[in-house]
């Protein structure tokens, strides 16, 4: 599979190609043809978020810099919190090793005990066949960051790995469990770099659901002063995903900038035909209703 091209023929609606309005109209028509007129607006307060490594991570990724581990609980804290709040599920993540792996395999017994308390979504990095098989016995679903751009992998993550390594891990996971690819839009310095190629690869190997998250400048990271991709470019990608995957659920996930950016992007995402939006802008429910959509609530991690 060729993951190296800069602008393949299938990059329908990529930035600068044609009229965004026309692209959104095509995506919306496909959404109407393949799904009921409803949108899930998800606020995942019933999912307990755990880092198996605490705040430790062997990488210093340009967009994260350990920041997102700070809001997670360790396994014991998460177990107590989960029972106290009567939550329904767990998102289990953690810092990465220098090989690009989240070392969940070092905490198998603790994770198995959590499985008796709720459903498990494990967010993992690269895996081999043995590790993928372990997840098949543990996870209700796996979230996997799907990156095919070699330069982004090297410069953002600091890993000497390739898009082929990520594709291989994704295919191994699919052998054993339900896995949801996550595409981070603007990962490479806030620019679209490999996202359309990621869609092409997924169309070839298959995906049950697609989740898109958006780069958010984060204080204390190497990308703290980098601007996120324009909402219109993100919307173009979302609409292209709907066109390429007309009957596949598309989700706009929890990570993306807030404020006026979120309001604009969320409105465009509706028009692009997404099926679910996590932590939407407050005004979005009214907009969805004017578009003829019934608003449905959700209170767990979007892939569960």
Mean pLDDT of the 52-81 span: 95
Residue 9: pLDDT band with limits 50, 70, 90: very low
- Say yes or no to pLDDT of 17 above 70: no
Q: Which domains can be identified in the chain, with CATH numbers?
A: 20-298 (3.20.20.70)
- For the ranges 62-71, 178-187, 195-204, 263-272, the lowest mean pLDDT is seen at 62-71
- How confident is the prediction for the chain on average, in pLDDT? 94
pTM of the model: 0.94
What DSSP letter does each residue of 111-164 carry, written as one string? HHHHHTTSEEEEEE----HHHHHHHHHH-SEEEEE----HHHIIIII--S--HH
Residues 192-210 pLDDT 10s: 999 999 999 999 999 999 9
Identify the residue with better confidence: 13 or 130: 130
Residues 102-126 pLDDT 10s: 999 999 999 999 999 999 999 999 9
Q: How far apart are the first and last CA of the chain?
A: 30
3-state secondary structure 252-286: ECCCCCCHHHHHHHHHHHHHCCCCEEECCCCCHHH
Residues 284-297 pLDDT 10s: 999 999 999 999 99
Residue 274: pLDDT band with limits 50, 70, 90: very high
């Amino acid at each position: 599979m060729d993951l190296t091209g800069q602008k393949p023929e299938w990059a329908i609606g990529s930035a600068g190609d044609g009229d965004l309005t026309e692209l959104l109209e095509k995506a919306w028509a496909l959404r109407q043809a393949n799904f009921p007129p409803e949108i899930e607006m998800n606020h995942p307060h019933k999912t307990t978020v755990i880092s198996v490594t605490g705040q430790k991570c062997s990488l210093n990724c340009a967009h994260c810099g350990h920041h997102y581990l700070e809001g997670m609980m360790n396994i014991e804290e998460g177990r107590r919190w989960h029972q106290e709040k009567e939550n329904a599920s767990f998102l289990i993540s953690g810092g990465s090793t220098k090989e690009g792996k989240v070392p969940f395999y070092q905490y198998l017994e603790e994770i198995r005990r959590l499985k008796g308390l709720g459903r498990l979504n494990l967010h993992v990095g690269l895996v081999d066949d043995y590790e993928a098989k372990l997840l098949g016995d543990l996870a209700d679903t796996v979230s996997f960051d799907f990156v095919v751009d070699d330069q982004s992998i090297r410069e953002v993550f600091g890993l000497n790995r390739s898009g082929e390594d990520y594709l291989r891990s994704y295919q191994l996971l699919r052998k054993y469990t339900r896995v949801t690819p996550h595409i981070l839009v603007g990962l490479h310095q806030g620019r679209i770099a490999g996202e359309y190629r990621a869609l092409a690869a997924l169309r070839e190997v298959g995906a049950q659901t697609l989740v898109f998250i958006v780069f958010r400048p984060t204080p204390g990271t190497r990308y703290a002063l980098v601007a996120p991709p324009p909402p219109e470019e993100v919307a173009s990608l979302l609409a292209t995903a709907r066109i390429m995957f007309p009957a596949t659920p598309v989700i706009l996930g929890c990570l993306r900038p807030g404020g006026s950016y979120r309001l604009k992007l969320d409105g465009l995402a509706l028009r692009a035909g997404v099926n679910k939006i996590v932590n939407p802008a407050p005004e979005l429910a009214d907009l969805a209703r004017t578009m003829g959509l019934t608003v449905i609530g959700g209170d767990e991690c979007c892939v569960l």
